Every structure is written in C-alpha cells, then in structure tokens.
A and B are shown apart, each in its own frame.
Chain A
Amino acid sequence: MAAYLIRRLWQMAPTLFGVVLLVFLLFKGFGGDPAEILGGLNATQAQVDAIRQQLGLSEPLWTQFGIFLKQIVTFDWGRSWATNESVAHLFATRLPATLTVMVPILLLDTLLAIPFALGVAYVRGSLTDRVIMIATTVALSISFLVYVIVGQYVFAFQLGLFPVQGWSDSLATNLRVYAPLPVLLAVAVSLAPTTRLYRTFFLDEIGHDYVRTARAKGLTERTVLLKHVLRNALIPILTNVAVALPGIFVGSFLIEVFFSIPGLGREILLAVNRSDYPVIQAFAIYIAVITMVVNLLTDVLYKLVDPRVVLS
C-alpha cells in the first residue's frame, strides 16, 4: 500500500509540472502585459517600466518561470491585483461558503438519485420508464440558466418562501435561510441526468449471471435489486461521485453568481472579468492538485469497497 501511494504520488509530478507550465505559458504567451494591466490607463511609460522591473518581467523567461515555481511551492502568490487581498487569504475565506452550498448538493443529489434510479430500473422497458427517459431528455435540453432564473423568480420573488439572495457570517443561518433555495434548485436540475446515469449502471449489473442465479434461487425482484444489484452498482456510482468531488471546490459558479454567495466560483469569475491573473493562476493550479489527490483517494477507496480490486 505504501509503495503504491509513493509511486502514485511520484507519477503526479510530471502532470503537475505540465499544469504549471500550461498556466505559465498561457498567461505569458496570450495574456495581456501584467505591467500595463496593473498600471492602469493613465500610467506613464516610466511607471509601467518600474512595475515590470518589480515583477521581474524583464528577466529571461527561465528566471520568470523560476519565480512562478517559487510562488507555488511557498504558497506566496502575493496579492490580488484588483483588491490587494492576499491570494491565500482569498482562498481560505471563500472556500467555506462554497462548501456550505456544494456539500449538501452533492449529498442530496447522490442519495436521491439512487432510489429514483432503482425505481426506474425496476420498471425498465415499461411505458413509465420510456416516458421518464423522454421527459429527462427534454428537461436536460433547457439551459440550467432558465431553471435558476425562473426558480428564483417564482419561489423567492413571487411566493416569498426564501430570500432572493444573500449570505451571512453564521453557518447555521446560512444553512437554514440562504442555502436552501440554491441547493434545492441545483439538486432539482442535476437529479434528472444523475438518475439517468445511475439507471444505466443498474441495468449493466442486471444483465450479469449472478442476478440470474439470485432469481433462480427464488429471491424476489426487490431483494435482488436491493441486495445484489445495488452493492455491485455502487462501484461505478462511487467513481461518478469521485469525478464530481473536485467540482465542489470550484463550486457551482452559476449558483454563486445568481444568489450572491461569496464563494470560490464567483471569485474566479470576478477575477476573469478583472483580468486578475494571480488569482486565476493560483486557483487553476491548486484545484488541479486537489483533483489529483482526490482521484488518488478514490482509487484507495475502491480497494475498501471492492476487495477484488488490485492496486497497481
């Protein structure tokens, strides 16, 4: 196990190096000149040159890459160009809001989709099944934006069941007052595709021999589905949740924008709009690291769920 972990961590190095190189070259090659962005419209040439000197932009490319690497390793990104807030602080203060919304969404989505998908798989091939499948296709073709716009309008503005938007400093208030509507809308939208996906997982398992054996033993369809099929289908479901996990750090930026939730997703979007390069670069690299670590943890988890899996 230890050897496996070390090898996997070692394998991450080239990928991580590639991500750093990609981000560096992307902003160096295609992005605007940081000195001119920082200087603003009224900066004189002397001021721009001074900023360039300060940021080390007149150094050769290799030295600049060295500075970039040093920033990453020491977690010292300096400050946001727009708000002068340190990037590390930005990251730490925006993460809780994102998690407050995203963790309930992921949990509810997974926990609700499993029984729904089981139910649909139970009536597979019937008219109900076909109608549900067609309805989800149509529902999926409507943009996520429309659901949120209409949902916010109807539930918050017209019916007044929830606040239209807002956020507070207390976790309890956030969970009770501000998070329910965003969570509800996001789950309502993601439930259909998740159910569809899980249904295919269940149907894949239903074709296997052990299911036939279980039926031949005289077990009821319910027992077969709940005890045999469900346990085996948990593996692809786990994979799917693992794939979605890094996403909870990026946050559903649309939800955050709509409901003015001060999370990471909204912060990234603001950074893009303000050409705030340090923030975008830092987020891209750290989220990539988190993604890789989560993927590794998932592979280890497989071993726990399914003893047949050999880690190699």
Chain B
Amino acid sequence: MSAVIEAPLAAPAPGRRSAGVWSAAARRFRSDRVGMVSLAVAALFLLLVVASALGLVAKDWQVERGVPDAPPSFVGPRAQAENVAAAGPSGPNVDISAVDPLAPRYQEWAEAAKKYQTTAAARAATLPFGADRLGRDVLAKAIKGAQVSILVGVSAALLATTIGTLLGAAAGYFGGKVGDLLEWVYNVFTAVPGILLIFAFAAVFGRGIGSVVLILGLAGWTGIYRLVRAEFMKHVVRDYVRSAEAIGAGNVSRMFRHILPNVSHVILVQLSIHVVAFIKSEVILSYLGLGVGVDEVSWGTMLSEAQSELILGHWWQLAAATIFMAVFVTAFSLMTDALRDALDPKLRGLE
C-alpha cells in the first residue's frame, strides 16, 4: 500500500518522462524508411509551392519565351518545315501616292509608331522541358500548376476537416436532438452522389480558385464528420471527461481542450487523406472547365491543353503535368500511410 502512495513522490527525474503520444508517434514515423523518404519529397514540393507563391520561381510562367510548341532541349529543335513563303514581287514599287488618300499621313504615323517601338523577344528553339502552344515554358507552368493544385487541395482539405470536426464534435458530444439534426444533415449530403453534389455546387458558385476550394470542402466533409462523431461518442463517457466536468470545465472546454487533443490523430490522418483526394478532384474539375479560371494554370488545365497537343505529337506538356502530379501524389499517399501507421498502430497491417 505504501508503495502505491509513494509512487507519485518518486516522480521520474526531469527529462525521463514517459513518452507522450506524439513523441512516440514521431519515433515510429522516423523508423519508417518509406515514410521518411516520402515526407522529404512532399516537403520539397511544399517548399516549391511556397517559393512559387512568393514569386521566387515560375513568376513569369506567362511569358512566351520559346517558339510555339518548342520541343524539350533533350529532344533537340524541330526540323525546319519546308514552307518557304511565296516569292515577293520584284522590281521597284509603283508610286501610287498621287491617288492614295492616306499618303499624306504615312509620315506622321511612322513617327508615332517609333514611340511604341518594341523589340521582339528572342524566342528559343528549345526549352528545358519544351513549350506549350503559345511558347510558354512547360516547366514553369508545371511549377505554377503545382502551386495552384496543391494549395487548392490543402485548403479544401482544411475546410472539409474543419466543418467535419466541428459538426462531428457537436453531434458526438451533445447527442440527443443536436445529434439527430446533424445526422439528418449528414444523411442528406450523402444521399446525393458525391460527383453530382460537386456539380450542383459548381453550377451555383462558378469558377475560380476560391470556388473550387468551397465546392470541394462543402461536398467532402461527410467522411470526417462520421469518424469524429464516433470518436467523440466514445470519449465523452470516459472518466477523464467526467473529471473535467467535476472541476467545472464547460462544454466547449471539454469538447476542444480535453477531448479534441485525444482524437486529433484521427483528424490529422483524415486531413492527409483528403489532400490527395481533393488534388485529384481539382485536376478533374479544372480539366472539365469547372475549376480554376482561364488566366490561371493548374495540373488540370495543363492536361486539358495537352489532349489536343498530343494529337500533333507534342507530348511534353502531358508528360510534365503527369510526372509532377504522380510524384507528389505518390509521395503524399505513402506519407499518409506512414502517418496512419505511426499515429494509429491499431490500424497497422490492415492494408
């Protein structure tokens, strides 16, 4: 008995506290080699997104720096087509200034034109990864597209997670009438197939980056809601929550200061899963013309341009968008798997 009472007194020396949930998870994550590599790749992409958002790279993606459809450098410049212009007229020009009513003003216009003289920028015959139909650098476009696609995916996932967590917490914590009401909302949202819901939202919200985030977030919160609700229902009856109530913690405090940290690992994994799903959705929406605006570029708009280019044998834009997207999504998915294994060891081995 005395040993039990004295146990707290013999508190572990400072620095020897037992590992918390998060540090234990971090240790498990670090020992996962695939997870670490994919984390590094994903971090590299996020760095690229930040650099691109700050204008450090790919700021001038709209500048037409190559000839139209310039091939990649490693392919080499395209062979000159044999379309020689028709021979120009030979001999001196016939002087028609006597009958030309505009003749007196030619001099004046030539003077005016000099003020606006522009030098035609030299256009490269090849670019590192080729150029699109207008001669814009495909590599810069892919980087800018990564910024838009990843930002949309992350923002939409954050929005969906916030909605799902708030509603799920309320439904699981309060239950009763509030729970029934929220269950009804959930049933309504899941009754309409996801893609139809997205289309309906797209019809009313229009195009643009903000709209896509809103559409995906509003149509995609239901899965997170369901999981968070189940977790809250499980936790609300536990002793630590009742203890919190006993010391006078209010509803909001119990929900978000006591329970939320204990279910945050579930939410984090869901957030990560939704980032990947939403990036894929954004690409499809943009391809269909329901996504980002016409003066913006995303992986989806690149793919839609690439479709008509491929018929002409210009494969580089398709390849660039595909490679960028495949590398990022693979890395992010593997990272999510590792994250889930590290945070929720119970799930390990399910896949």
Query: A284–B310 contact, CB under 8 A?
Result: no
**A-facing mask of B263-291, CB < 8 A → 1, else 0?**
00000000000000000100110011110
What is the distance, in angstroms, from A72's C-beta to the closest C-beta of chain B?
14
Contact at A141–B325, with CB atoms within 8 Å?
A: yes
* Cβ contact within 8 Å between B334 and A137: yes
Within 8 A of A (CB), among B292-322: 299-300, 303, 306-307, 310-311, 318, 322
Residue A4 at the chain B interface, CB threshold 8 Å: no
Residues facing B in A241-281 (CB within 8 A) are 246-247, 250, 253-254, 257, 268-269, 271-273, 275, 277, 280-281
Q: Does B61 contact A (CB under 8 A)?
A: no
Interface stretch among A52-60, A82-90, A217-225, A286-294?
A: A286-294
Give the distance to chain B from A209, nearest Cβ to Cβ, in Å.
18
> Which of B65-73, B87-95, B157-165, B181-189 is near enough to bind chain A?
B181-189
Contact of B283 among A21, A143, A153 (CB under 8 A): A143
Task: Please name all residues of chain A whose beta carbon is closer than 8 Å to the beta carbon of B24 when the two chains form the complex.
Answer: none
Count of interface residues, chain A, beta-carbon cutoff 8 Å = 50
CA distance A27 to B201 in the complex (A): 9
B residues apposed to A, CB below 8 Å? 184-185, 187-189, 191-193, 195-197, 199-205, 280, 283-284, 287-290, 299-300, 303, 306-307, 310-311, 318, 322, 325-326, 329-330, 333-334, 350-351
Query: Does A284 lie within 8 Å of B192, measured CB to CB?
Result: yes
- With beta carbons under 8 angstroms apart, the residue of A15, A149, A288 that contacts B303 is A149
Contact of B204 among A30, A140, A268, A292 (CB under 8 A): A30
14 A-B pairs in the complex with CB atoms less than 8 angstroms apart: A15-B188, A18-B185, A18-B188, A19-B191, A143-B322, A145-B300, A146-B322, A150-B310, A153-B310, A268-B199, A277-B203, A284-B192, A287-B192, A288-B191
B109 shortest CB reach to chain A, Å: 37
A143 and B284 within 8 A (CB): yes
What are the interface flags for A1-43 relative to B under an 8 Å C-beta threshold, 1 for contact and 0 otherwise?
0000000000000111011011100110011100000000000
Does A283 lie at the interface of the complex (its beta carbon under 8 Å from any beta carbon of B)? yes
User: 1/0 per position for A69-103, CB-CB distance to B under 8 A?
Assistant: 00000000000000000000000000000000000
Q: Name the A residues within 8 Å of B280 (CB-CB).
A: 143-144
What per-residue 1/0 map shows which CB atoms of A130-142 lie under 8 Å from chain B?
A: 0001000110111
In the bound complex, do residue B196 and residue A283 qualify as a contact, i.e. CB atoms below 8 Å apart?
yes
Contact A268 B283 (CB under 8 A): no
Smallest beta-carbon distance A87→chain B, Å: 15
A247 near B193: Cβ-Cβ < 8 Å: yes
A157 at the interface (CB under 8 A from B): yes
Does the CB pair A26–B204 fall under 8 Å? Answer: yes
Quick check: is A44 within 8 A (CB to CB) of the other chain?
no
Looking at chain B's contact residues, is the secondary structure mostly helix, strand, loop, or mixed?
Answer: helix
| A15 in complex: contacting residue of B184, B290, B307, B326, CB < 8 Å | B184
**Given A141-B329, A142-B326, A250–B318 Cβ distance below 8 Å?**
no
A137 touches B195 (CB 8 A): no
CB pair A27–B204 under 8 Å, yes or no, is yes
Q: A142-B326, A149-B306, A272-B290 are in contact. Are A18 and B184 (CB under 8 A)?
A: yes
Partner pick for A269 among B189, B288, B334, B351, CB 8 A cutoff? B288
Given A157, A196, A253, A280, which contacts B203 in the complex, CB threshold below 8 Å?
A280
Please give, as numbers and ranges, the residues of chain A lying within 8 Å of B325 by CB-CB distance: 141-143
Residues of B within 8 A of A281 (CB): 200
